Amino acid sequence: MTVIAAACIQLRSGKDTSENTARAEDLIRAAAGDGATYIQTPEMSNVLVRSREELIARIDVLERDLFVTMARRVAADLGVFVHVGSVAVLAGGGQVANRAVLIAPNGAIVETYDKVHMFDVDLPGGESWRESSTYKAGEQVPVVDLPFGKLGMAICYDIRFPGIFRAQSRLGADILTAPAAFTRQTGQAHWHVLQRARAIENGAYVISAAQGGRHEDGRETFGHSLIVDPWGDVVAELDTDAPGHLVAEIDLARVSKARARIPAIANERDFDCRMTRAFREEPA
């Protein structure tokens, strides 16, 4: 039986990467002080800037990113895994990546993941987003075999695309992740049900650290960082949009128990889908 203490760091990132990094370091250290050995930060941990030009002026390549450099140093100092939910980094050719980074207790980067699904939506009230105009979409989705279990990496809007999480679960992922900067209105409507649905249908833990509150660039995010167990129960939640951290024990034996009760992955079959046109009588 593998039991670990997992943590979510909730942020309210602004435009200053140095300030965001310093605040996050304090919360990461606090979570480790509470016993966490796997610590996850939210999407866009290093900076939240709506203007593409301003964003590019404030970021760097991954190797020089202030937030990732801090996370590597702190992971080695504390002997913990730090999962940077994502950072905006320069990706060459004038492109930007929304990139998650998993860091080992020795400070080494274990894996990275570039967000696959771009949040291109028009919401009620005039709120509109076009991530594809700023970010280069990723093409590969990883599962990382860690000492305590197998972890699948995803980011925010990916949570609405169940195929990612099913593919990861087929590869044995015990823990699924979707660190996020969910908008307030979509979070109020769908945040909890989406996290719980991905956990239930895959019989896996879902851990999602979140951005929360009103940010310097004017956007509002939902907060409510969550850890959901393989049966769909919320193990821990920051029931607010304020910066902070939560720590909860997760027992990976519950994954095999859930999958034995409802063997949805084992029972799944390939199928074809077709459209049938109903008979329509031609007018006389």
* Mutual angle of helices 66-78 and 17-33, in 10-degree steps: 20
Q: Which of 8, 136, 150, 156 is catalytic?
A: 156
Identify the bridge partners of residue 236 per DSSP, sorted by sequence position. Answer: 227
End-to-end CA distance of the chain: 72
Q: Strand, helix or coil at 251?
A: strand
> How far is the C-alpha of 75 from the C-alpha of 31, rounded, in Å?
12
Q: Which of 115, 201, 220, 249 is catalytic?
A: 115
Q: Which of 8, 43, 136, 150 is catalytic?
A: 43
Query: What 8-state DSSP symbol labels residue 37?
Result: S
Would residue 115 show up in a list of annotated catalytic residues for this protein?
A: yes
Would residue 257 show up in a list of annotated catalytic residues for this protein?
A: no
> How far is the C-alpha of 230 from the C-alpha of 239, rounded, in Å?
20
Instruction: Name which of 201, 184, 211, 200 is nearest 234 in CA terms.
Output: 200
* Mutual angle of helices 162-170 and 184-202, in 10-degree steps: 30
Distance (Å) of CA 199 to CA 44, 55, 163, 233, 284: 23, 34, 13, 9, 54
- Residues annotated as catalytic are 43, 115, 156
